[in-house]
Chains A and B, each alone.
Chain A
Amino acid sequence: MKVRYLLGAVAALALTTAAARAEYPERELQGVIMWGAGGATDTVARAVTPHVEEALGKKIVLVNKAGGAGAISTAFVNAAPADGYTLLYGAENPQVHGVLALSELDYSAFYPVNVLARGIAVIVAGKDAPWNSVKELVEDAQKRPGKIKMGSTGPGGLPHVVGALLNSVEAYKVTAVPFDGEGPGLTALQGGHVDFMPVGLSAAGEHIKAGRVKVLGVVNDKEVPSLPGVAPITKDFPGFSKYLPWGPFYGIWVKKDVPDAAKKTLVDAFRKGAENPQFTQLMVERGNVMMNISGAEADAFLKKWQAVTTWVLHDAGATKQSPEKFGIARP
């Protein structure tokens, strides 16, 4: 009697797991992109997805749900059933939502299916700017505090964070003028409406190559292949190295309590999709560093990124709440 019951239970369990493995994904998936059409996150999402669909054997319907610097998409995916059919395509933003008092949700509520790549930041200036290195820029800014205009993208954005990181190494004062994104900021830079801007290499690469903006430094600890001869920021500011590697990143998340079988299927499909040479080439040419990591490895990366960024923002007085409140330890 007991044995039979046990056997039945084992059989049932085997059946259900087998069924789950055989079934997922049984219908098309929905991918929620946290930024609008045409943005960097959107472009990365649309570039990787066809390769993933191939590995997955099902379609992923992509929708843009921009707004609230990604908070809306994050909340939406968090509210969806944890069945693995709703994916979040995101960037680094939710990691600073807590300290900026935008939303309590960050990536700790999600499982990283894949952190595809991270971008490298550069500091660019107008093509007729008087400076030839970040050092000259900082010295000039110390001489005329507030007179130099920095293009920004609002609190928690890349220019803001890079500016705060640099400021914590060597104090200086500039006026940050926020634009709607890196593209509009670079446009203003070329029109001479701001003087310099920290920006992702992926957004500035082509403008640098064409000589329309002047690159002052790379926010990295060594030279990058696509910008030969451009000094890494650690050359003049060795203190910067403790923050590196730092940059924006792109990835795919699902809710934490999605069944493990589904997680595994997704991780495999995205790893395979991200390995596609066409996609890799696209990402590298745009000045990104491929990561293609998932699970615990990705979690560790996300944690470090969050600790570095939130504490520097906090020390710069740019936060509304202390990182401590969210249990983020000082790095």
Chain B
Amino acid sequence: MTDALSYFAMGWLDPWLLMLTAAGTFAGIYIGAIPGLSVTMAVSVLISFTFTWPVNDALALMAGIYMGGVYGGSRTAILLNIPGAPSAIATALDGYPLAKRGEAGIAIGISTVVSVIGGFVGILALAVAAPAISDFALMFAPRDYLLLAIMGILLVGSLSGESLAKGVFSGALGVLIGMVGLDPMTAEQRFTFGSVNLLGGIPYVAAMIGFFGVSEALVQLHTLHMPAIKQQVSRIVPSWKLVKRFLPLSLRSSALGVIIGALPGTGGDIAALMAYDQARRTVKNPTRPFGEGAYEGLVAPESANNAAVGGAYIPMLTLGIPGDAVTAVIIGALFIHGLKPGPMLMIETPHLFWYTVGNLTLANIFLLIFGLTGIRFFTRIVECPKGILLPLILVLSAVGTYAIQNNPVDIYWMLGFGLFGYFLKMYGFEVGPVILGIILGPLMDVSYRRAVISVEDSFPAFLWDLVSNPLTAALTLALAALLLAQTPVASLWKRRR
């Protein structure tokens, strides 16, 4: 126990490590906020940079960047409707309407506080229940991922805007975009038209930046000469009363975030979307209707995506299995530093676990400090004249898209999606379901096919699997309940009561 405590405090007592964690968190916020600069990329660059450093220094910096980066994505999502990172997609749904009302300051304030709450829940889960959670995560079979993805895609129903048909179209379009490229299971080409550039598919960050950011920039041209919305910056830190009101939702979303983050096939983006969906279903009286600037629509995804950080570390530290793309890169970094990431990591290098828990805790504290400062500066961005802001958004979107995988073709996709998204929006389609489809479509595709292949392509056996295993049966039941709640039967029953 004293050992654990001393490892935990390592990063706190050494001023150099303390400084590195702080610098990492600070840099992470800005990396997360710039679309196209991702935490995965930053950590990759850091590997060559920190190659000659002691491993503890490198880990402190990476933990900070990870924590800060997941949170930082919310900044641009709220201010410009461009999620700086995929995990902030759900944040844009209610965050951007808030900025349009001049409430960007309080929106960022709330995001910061609930991100920190989510972060602590994730760290706590990592500290006390890591082995149990990673064993639980291993139990998820392909069919369970399929059920999870279907639950997520049901969110289309509430993101449809003026007509369900339009929502379904957008969602299906997203699934289709997600299918483009080399099928990972059979190496069959789908919608590639013989082009090598399409073999790798369309990166969903390019679609995200195009459909969200560029199309919104074009819509903004309609109101070019209206003065920019004045942002109230007098109240940024949410009152204690407000925090208390959102605490139950935040904790619920965080628990969801930990589990989804710990699952090896899913990360913060899906966690945030599912938490948002969960909030829409369970919160009876939101501050405003969802989609028009409900604070609850910020609380749920922002709690969940930061909780997913701790969640993603769980299988990584206990089993050497990455919980998401960032922890995969961190595993690579550990290896390069001469450690052996795997189930023996905690036995061979016992300090690493508690040292990481300590670092994440520290990073989370710095997140609160840095997150609540500098908001005024950020909100200035939206007060900048649109004539300057809009061309700048375009160029930033282009370089950000290019930076994902250094492929200029992605820029064309992004701009093309921007133009298409503009017309979709003009004719009453929502673009949210498109992104939902792109993220969840491929997960549904491979999970379904894996599940069916596992039972030798027998559909009855696949259906039997859905109810015969306890975990799967529970998920099937949950899915059935969600489906029933959306059908007319449920509303009829409710009305009769």
Q: Which residues of A contact B (CB under 8 A)?
A: 32, 36-39, 42-43, 46-47, 49-50, 62-69, 71-72, 75-76, 100, 102-103, 146, 149, 154-156, 175-180, 183-184, 186-188, 190-191, 193-194, 205-207, 209-210, 212, 278, 281-282, 285-286
Contact = CB atoms under 8 A, between A and B. Distances in A.
Interface residues of B, number: 55
Contacts of B139: 191
Given A38-B322, A209-B344, A146 B335 contact: no
Given A37-B329, A43-B336, A103-B196, A183 B182 contact: no
B201 interface: yes
Contacts of A188: 141-142
A53 B41 CA distance: 20
A286 B336 CA distance: 11
Contacts, number: 154
B48 interface: yes
Given A43-B336, A75-B196, A191-B140, 18 more contacts: A38-B332, A47-B336, A49-B48, A64-B44, A66-B405, A72-B407, A76-B407, A103-B196, A154-B186, A178-B453, A187-B315, A187-B321, A205-B340, A206-B341, A207-B343, A209-B342, A282-B338, A285-B340
B429 to A, nearest CB: 29
A263 to B, nearest CB: 24
A181 to B, nearest CB: 9
A178 B265 contact: no
Contacts of B201: 67
B100 interface: no
Interface string B175-216: 000000110111101000000110111000000000000000
B48 A206 contact: no
A46 B331 CA distance: 13
Given A67-B405, A100-B187, A178-B450, A72 B328 contact: no
Contacts of A100: 187
Nearest to A97: B187
Contact of B200 (A39, A68, A178, A191): A68
Interface string B433-452: 00000000000001000100
B335 A37 contact: no
Contacts of B196: 68, 71-72, 75, 103
A209 B348 CA distance: 12
B199 A102 contact: yes
Contacts of B141: 188, 191, 193
8 contacts: A36-B325, A37-B40, A38-B329, A71-B196, A72-B196, A154-B187, A206-B345, A207-B319
B349 interface: no
B336 A46 contact: yes
Contacts of B456: 146, 175
Interface on chain A toward B: helix, strand, loop, or mixed SS? mixed
B159 to A, nearest CB: 27
B197 A210 contact: no
B336 A38 contact: no
Contacts of A39: 328, 332
B421 interface: no
Interface in B373-410: 405-407
Nearest to A186: B321
B344 A206 contact: yes
Contacts of B16: none
B181 to A, nearest CB: 7
Interface of B: 40-41, 43-44, 47-48, 51-52, 138-142, 181-182, 184-187, 189, 196-197, 199-201, 264-265, 315, 319-322, 325, 328-332, 335-336, 338, 340-345, 405-407, 446, 450, 453-454, 456
A95 to B, nearest CB: 14
B405 to A, nearest CB: 5
A46 B342 contact: no
Nearest 5 A/B pairs, CB to CB: A67-B200, A206-B342, A68-B199, A38-B328, A210-B343
Contacts of B340: 205-206, 285
Contacts of A175: 453-454, 456
Given A177-B450, A178-B450, A206-B342, A282 B264 contact: no
Given A38-B329, A177-B450, A184-B264, A205 B182 contact: no
A72 B344 contact: no
Nearest to B342: A206
A69 B320 contact: no
B177 to A, nearest CB: 15
Contacts of B52: 50
Contacts of A212: 319, 343
Contacts of A63: 405-406
A286 B335 contact: yes
B28 to A, nearest CB: 16
A72 B200 contact: yes
A207 B319 CA distance: 8
Contacts of A43: 332, 335-336
Given A190-B138, A282-B336, A65 B405 contact: yes
Contact of A37 (B138, B325, B338): B325
A187 B51 CA distance: 28
A62 B48 contact: yes
Contacts of A178: 184-186, 450, 453
A11 B344 CA distance: 63
Contact of A67 (B48, B199, B264, B321): B199
B186 A155 contact: yes
A128 to B, nearest CB: 13
A212 B320 CA distance: 12
A46 B48 contact: yes
Given A149-B454, A177-B453, A206-B341, A65 B407 contact: yes
Contacts of A179: 450
